[in-house]
């Protein structure tokens, strides 16, 4: 963790009363933007299908021959 990230989270703890500064003071501004999410959201729909087909071309070939019902069932299983 870099210093700006540490300062940001420590200042947040001080501001909400969960921590306190015993000696010295925190800077007024800290050059850090926290991430909005820890992980990117999983791909869904066509983007997920492209990802699977790129990694497994044999699955793409099989998918093309399946009926619509089989495709929907498979998509539910793999989280498309």
Measure the N-to-C terminal CA separation of the chain; round to a whole number of Å: 34
For the chain, what are the domain ranges? 1-34, 46-78
d(CA 39, CA 34): 13
**Residue range 36-59, pLDDT digits in tens:** 767 777 788 888 888 889 999 999
Report how far apart, in Å, the C-alpha atoms of 64 and of each of 14, 46, 52, 58, 60 are.
Answer: 58, 14, 13, 10, 6
The whole-angstrom distance between residue 59's C-alpha and the CA centroid of its chain comes to: 26
Q: Count the Cβ atoms, other than its own, within 10 Å of residue 52.
A: 19
Q: What is the pLDDT of residue 1?
A: 58
Does this model's pTM top 0.75? My answer is: no
């Amino acid at each position: 963790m870099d210093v700006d990230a540490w300062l940001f989270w420590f200042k947040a703890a001080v501001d909400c009363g969960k921590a306190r500064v015993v000696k010295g003071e925190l800077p007024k501004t800290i050059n850090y933007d926290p991430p909005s999410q820890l992980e990117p959201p999983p791909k869904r729909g066509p983007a997920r299908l492209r990802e699977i087909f790129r990694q497994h071309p044999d699955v793409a070939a099989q998918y093309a021959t399946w009926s619509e019902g089989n495709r929907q069932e498979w998509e539910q299983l793999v989280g498309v």
